[in-house]
Amino acid sequence: MGKRYQPPADVAEYRESLLAILYEVVREPNLTAPRLIQILKQHPKDGRGLFNKNDLIHAYRTLAGTDGLPPYDAAVLARLRMKPVRTLSGVTPVTVLTKPYPCPGECIFCPNDVRMPKSYLASEPGAQRAEQNHFDPYLQVISRLGTLYETGHPLDKVELIILGGTWSFYPETYQVWFVKRLFDALHDFGAGADRTDEVRDLLRAASQLHPDQATSLTLKGAALEQSYNQVVRRIYRAEMRRSRELAQAVARGERPRTVVDEFATWEELAAAHRENETAPIRCVGLVVETRPDHIDAGEVIRMRRLGATKVQIGVQSLDDAVLAQNRRGHTVAMTRRAIRLLRQAGFKIHAHWMPNLYGSSPEADEADYRRLFADPDIRPDELKIYPCSLIESAELMQVYQRGEWSPYSEDVLLGVLSACFLSTPEYCRLTRVVRDIPSTDIVAGEMKPNFRQTVEAALRARGLRSPDIRGREIRGGTVLPGDLHLDELRYEAGVGEEVFLQVITADRRIAAFLRLSLPQGDPAVPELAGAAMIREVHVYGQAVTIGAAEDGKAQHSGLGTRLIERAAEIASERGYARLAVISAVGTREYYRKRGFGDGALYQVRALT
Please report whether residue 185 resides in a domain: yes
Q: How far apart are CA 405 and CA 403, in angstroms?
A: 6
Asked if 321 and 448 sit in the same domain, the reply is yes
Asked if 414 and 530 sit in the same domain, the reply is no
Asked if 317 and 449 sit in the same domain, the reply is yes
Please report whether residue 248 resides in a domain: yes
Please report whether residue 207 resides in a domain: yes
CA distances from 197 to 4, 142, 145, 203 (A): 19, 12, 16, 10
Asked if 315 and 442 sit in the same domain, the reply is yes
307/18: higher pLDDT: 307
User: Residue 362's pLDDT is what?
Assistant: 98
42-51, 253-262, 496-505: the lowest-pLDDT one: 42-51
Task: Single out the residue in 429, 451, 471 at which a domain terminates.
Answer: 471
Asked if 116 and 250 sit in the same domain, the reply is yes
Q: What is the mean pLDDT of the chain?
A: 89
**Nearest CA to 182 among 135, 237, 129, 121?**
135
66-80, 116-130, 364-378, 487-501: the lowest-pLDDT one: 66-80
Overall residue count recorded for the chain in this entry: 608
Asked if 467 and 504 sit in the same domain, the reply is no
- DSSP 8-state code for residue 69: P
Burial class (CB in 10 A: 0-12, 13-18, 19+), 6: exposed
SS3 (DSSP) at 337? helix
113-117, 300-304, 435-439, 446-450: the lowest-pLDDT one: 446-450
Q: What is the DSSP string of 73-96?
A: -HHHHHHH-S-GGGGTTSSEEEEE
pTM: 0.88
The pLDDT of 77-92, averaged and rounded, is 66
3-state helix, strand, coil in the chain (%, to 5): 40, 15, 45
Q: Could you tell me the pLDDT band of residue 70, with boundaries at 50, 70 and 90?
A: confident
Question: What's the domain count of the chain?
Answer: 4
Domain that holds residue 493: 481-606
CA distances from 409 to 108, 392, 393, 414, 467 (A): 21, 19, 21, 8, 25
Instruction: Answer whether residue 556 shows pLDDT above 50.
Output: no
User: Residue 543's pLDDT is what?
Assistant: 42
Which residues are 572's β-sheet partners?
A: none
Task: Single out the residue in 226, 259, 290 at which a domain terminates.
Answer: 290
Asked if 465 and 492 sit in the same domain, the reply is no
Please report whether residue 440 resides in a domain: yes
The separation between CA 437 and the C-alpha centre of its own chain, rounded to angstroms, equals 17
Q: Could you tell me the pLDDT band of residue 279, with boundaries at 50, 70 and 90?
A: very high
Residue 524 makes CB contacts below 8 A (sequence gap 6+) with: 297, 300, 341, 344, 345
**Nearest CA to 240 among 120, 98, 124?**
98
For 365, list phi and psi in degrees, rounded to 5.
Answer: -65, -45
Q: Could you tell me the pLDDT band of residue 89, with boundaries at 50, 70 and 90?
A: low
In the chain, count of helices (H) and strands (E)? 20, 14
Q: Could you tell me the pLDDT band of residue 541, with boundaries at 50, 70 and 90?
A: low
The answer to whether the CB of 539 falls within 8 A of the CB of 546 is: no
The pLDDT of 233-247, averaged and rounded, is 84
Say what angle helices 137-150 and 53-63 make with each other, to 10 degrees.
Answer: 80
167/212: higher pLDDT: 167
Q: How far apart are CA 9 and CA 58, in angstroms?
A: 8
The separation between CA 235 and the C-alpha centre of its own chain, rounded to angstroms, equals 30
User: Residue 400's pLDDT is what?
Assistant: 96
Asked if 19 and 68 sit in the same domain, the reply is yes
Which residues are 384's β-sheet partners?
A: 352, 432
Q: How far apart are CA 523 and CA 443, in angstroms?
A: 47
Q: How far apart are CA 466 and CA 372, in angstroms?
A: 16
SS3 (DSSP) at 464? coil
Please report whether residue 212 resides in a domain: yes
Residue 502's Cβ-side half-sphere holds a number of Cα atoms within 13 Å equal to: 23
**DSSP E strand boundaries for 434-530:** 485-492, 496-504, 510-519
Instruction: Answer whether residue 552 shows pLDDT above 50.
Output: no
Q: How far apart are CA 158 and CA 348, in angstroms?
A: 17
Please report whether residue 2 resides in a domain: no
- CATH code for position 516: 3.40.630.30
User: Residue 263's pLDDT is what?
Assistant: 92
Q: How far apart are CA 537 and CA 560, in angstroms?
A: 7
User: Residue 83's pLDDT is what?
Assistant: 53
- Strands 429-433, 382-385: parallel, antiparallel or unpaired by DSSP? parallel
Asked if 420 and 281 sit in the same domain, the reply is no
Instruction: Answer whether residue 447 shows pLDDT above 80.
Output: no
SS3 (DSSP) at 506? coil
Amino acid at position 200, single letter: R
User: Residue 210's pLDDT is what?
Assistant: 63
Task: Single out the residue in 452, 471, 490 at which a domain terminates.
Answer: 471
User: Residue 581's pLDDT is what?
Assistant: 98
Asked if 196 and 232 sit in the same domain, the reply is yes
65-69, 326-330, 378-382, 498-502: the lowest-pLDDT one: 65-69
User: Residue 549's pLDDT is what?
Assistant: 47
**Nearest CA to 210 among 200, 219, 224?**
200
Instruction: Answer whether residue 216 shows pLDDT above 80.
Output: no
22-26, 316-320, 488-492, 526-530: the lowest-pLDDT one: 22-26
- CATH code for position 339: 3.30.750.200
The answer to whether the CB of 24 falls within 8 A of the CB of 39 is: yes
**DSSP E strand boundaries for 335-425:** 348-353, 382-385
To the nearest 10°, report the CA torsion of 393, 395, 396, 401.
90
Please report whether residue 5 resides in a domain: no
User: Residue 141's pLDDT is what?
Assistant: 97
Asked if 57 and 113 sit in the same domain, the reply is no
The answer to whether the CB of 382 falls within 8 A of the CB of 350 is: yes
Q: How far apart are CA 246 and CA 122, in angstroms?
A: 28
User: Residue 513's pLDDT is what?
Assistant: 97
The answer to whether the CB of 366 falls within 8 A of the CB of 419 is: yes
Q: Could you tell me the pLDDT band of residue 550, with boundaries at 50, 70 and 90?
A: very low
Instruction: Answer whether residue 394 shows pLDDT above 80.
Output: yes
Please report whether residue 296 resides in a domain: no
60/315: higher pLDDT: 315
User: Residue 90's pLDDT is what?
Assistant: 67
Asked if 455 and 355 sit in the same domain, the reply is yes
Which residues are 395's β-sheet partners?
A: none
User: Residue 319's pLDDT is what?
Assistant: 98
User: Residue 204's pLDDT is what?
Assistant: 82
Q: Could you tell me the pLDDT band of residue 211, with boundaries at 50, 70 and 90?
A: low
Burial class (CB in 10 A: 0-12, 13-18, 19+), 460: exposed
Q: How far apart are CA 311 and CA 94, in angstroms?
A: 15
29/101: higher pLDDT: 101
Q: How many CB atoms lie within 10 A of CB 326?
A: 26
